[in-house]
Amino acid sequence: MVKGPSPSGARKKANGDEPAAPANDRRADRLRVRAAWMYFIEQMTQNQIADVLGVGRITVVRMLAEARARNEVKIAIESELSEIVRLERSLEATFGLQQAIVAPLSNAQADPIPVISARTGAFLSEVMRPGMRVGVGWGRTLFSTLSFINPKTLPDFKVISLLGGVGVARQINPAEFAWRFAQAFQGEGYLIPAPAVVDSVETKIALIERCGLQDIFRMTDELDAVLLSIGGIRSATTFYRGGYLKESQREELVARGAVGDVLFHPFNVDGEIVDHPINNLVMSVDVDRLRKAPMRILTSGGPEKVEALIGALKLLTPTVLITDEESARRILALRGGKA
């Protein structure tokens, strides 16, 4: 079996508990178990594993040898880590993801945002590179990732907010998140200086064509990555709580089959944008532009967002999904995957 590191192995006792293993060690453990799973359970070649994990073949050979040396390779997969890996691989296979990252929960009723945010912050700390152009959304999940990002200086790093809303004086708003995300990497932040939702199509056209916003929108044609979260239309989401969506509009969207929104674009469980007048009033980047980015990161979870996540996976075709284990199980159950 392929056995992940035992819980007791992560913490040694000597005159009391020592600190838990560093985050880098835990990531190495997790990567090694993934490699062992693919090789011994999925019967993948070392070259195939290297492609999936984004490492060299020699690294795969080393990880497999270390797994054997640690006595982690047996007959079946055991441990908490192995269950998480199984969910990740099922999500990757079911939705064609390059990578799924599943955060464990202490119990099924726990708030998933903290654990999703922690996993997202660690992932972003690893994959952000100098010279990148990153388009970002907003929401409570994304805002919570800021405290888990390892700050560093990335030359020529640019962050572009994908949604208006700079006039909203709230802690969680598009401008605040984009600006603070850029600061974490000592980069430049570009905002859409407009409300998130305007009063008419004429106002939207005027702001884009006559107030210089077209330059910001053009920048989103050449993004290296997009970082997005989603809301669930059927619950009190950020879209609704923020006062951007009236109750009557929310009810109309639900009646038309909307299950969630991304950058205030409502969509259904089949991944289709729902036809509604609100689409013409939103000051945000359209979905077609988002899909052009080679790295598309979707991070979200919670029981009220399961259908929305399924729709978003079809609509955005993300390359990376970061969610919690309960959401992962429910998504796979609804899609007929191995949950």
Looking at every residue in the chain, the average pLDDT score rounds to 85
* Cβ atoms of residues 82 and 2 within 8 Å: yes
pLDDT score, position 77: 44
Q: Which own/partner pairs from 57-64 qualify as long-range (CB within 8 Å, at least 24 positions apart)?
A: 60/35, 63/31, 63/32, 63/35, 63/36, 64/35, 64/36, 64/39
Rounded Cα distance between 198 and 210, Å, is 15
Lowest mean pLDDT among 14-23, 120-129, 183-192: 14-23
- Per-residue pLDDT band at 6 (split at 50, 70, 90): very low
- Read off the tokens for 243: 């006062």
* Rounded mean pLDDT, 136-158: 94
pLDDT of 286 above 80: yes
Rounded Cα distance between 86 and 246, Å, is 41
pLDDT of 232 above 50: yes
pLDDT of 18 above 80: no
* Rounded mean pLDDT, 59-75: 84
Residues with Cβ within 8 Å of residue 203, at least 6 apart in sequence = none
Q: Structural domain boundaries of the chain?
A: 7-78, 101-335
7-78 and 101-335 share one fold: no
pLDDT score, position 17: 41
pLDDT score, position 238: 56
More confident residue, 246 or 334: 334
Rounded Cα distance between 69 and 179, Å, is 46
pLDDT score, position 161: 95
Closest to 102 measured CA to CA, from 302, 314, 326: 326
pLDDT of 10 above 60: no
pLDDT of 43 above 80: no
Q: How would you class 247 by CB atoms within 10 Å of its CB: exposed for 0-12, middle for 13-18, buried for 19 or more?
A: exposed
* Rounded mean pLDDT, 192-206: 90
Residues with Cβ within 8 Å of residue 10, at least 6 apart in sequence = 20, 21, 26
Lowest mean pLDDT among 89-103, 155-169, 184-198, 233-247: 233-247
Q: Which of 154-168, 204-218, 261-275 ranks highest by mean pLDDT? A: 261-275
Cα-flanking dihedrals φ and ψ of residue 100, to 5°? Answer: -115, 135
The pTM of this model reads 0.77
DSSP letter at 44?
-
pLDDT score, position 1: 45
* Rounded mean pLDDT, 274-297: 94
Lowest mean pLDDT among 23-32, 276-285, 326-335: 23-32
- Read off the tokens for 306: 């399961």
- In CATH, the number for domain 101-335 is 3.40.50.1360
At the topology level of CATH, where does 7-78 sit? Arc Repressor Mutant, subunit A (1.10.10)
- Per-residue pLDDT band at 16 (split at 50, 70, 90): very low
pLDDT score, position 262: 94
* Cβ atoms of residues 282 and 197 within 8 Å: yes
* Rounded mean pLDDT, 320-333: 96
Strand arrangement of the beta sheet that strand 158-161 belongs to: 99-103, 320-324, 295-299, 225-228, 133-136, 158-161, 188-190
Our measurement of the distance from residue 280's CA atom to the centroid of its chain's CA atoms, rounded to an integer in Å, reads 26
pLDDT score, position 28: 86
Question: pLDDT per residue over 166-182, tens digit each?
Answer: 555 455 677 889 999 99
Our measurement of the distance from residue 218's CA atom to the centroid of its chain's CA atoms, rounded to an integer in Å, reads 24
What H or E segment, with its residue span, contains residue 295?
strand 295-299
pLDDT of 23 above 70: no
Sign of the dihedral through C-alpha 88, 137, 146, 225 = positive
More confident residue, 17 or 301: 301
> Measured at the alpha carbon of residue 188, what is the angle toward residues 186 and 192, in degrees to the nearest 5?
140
Share of the chain above pLDDT 90, in %: 60
* Rounded mean pLDDT, 71-95: 78
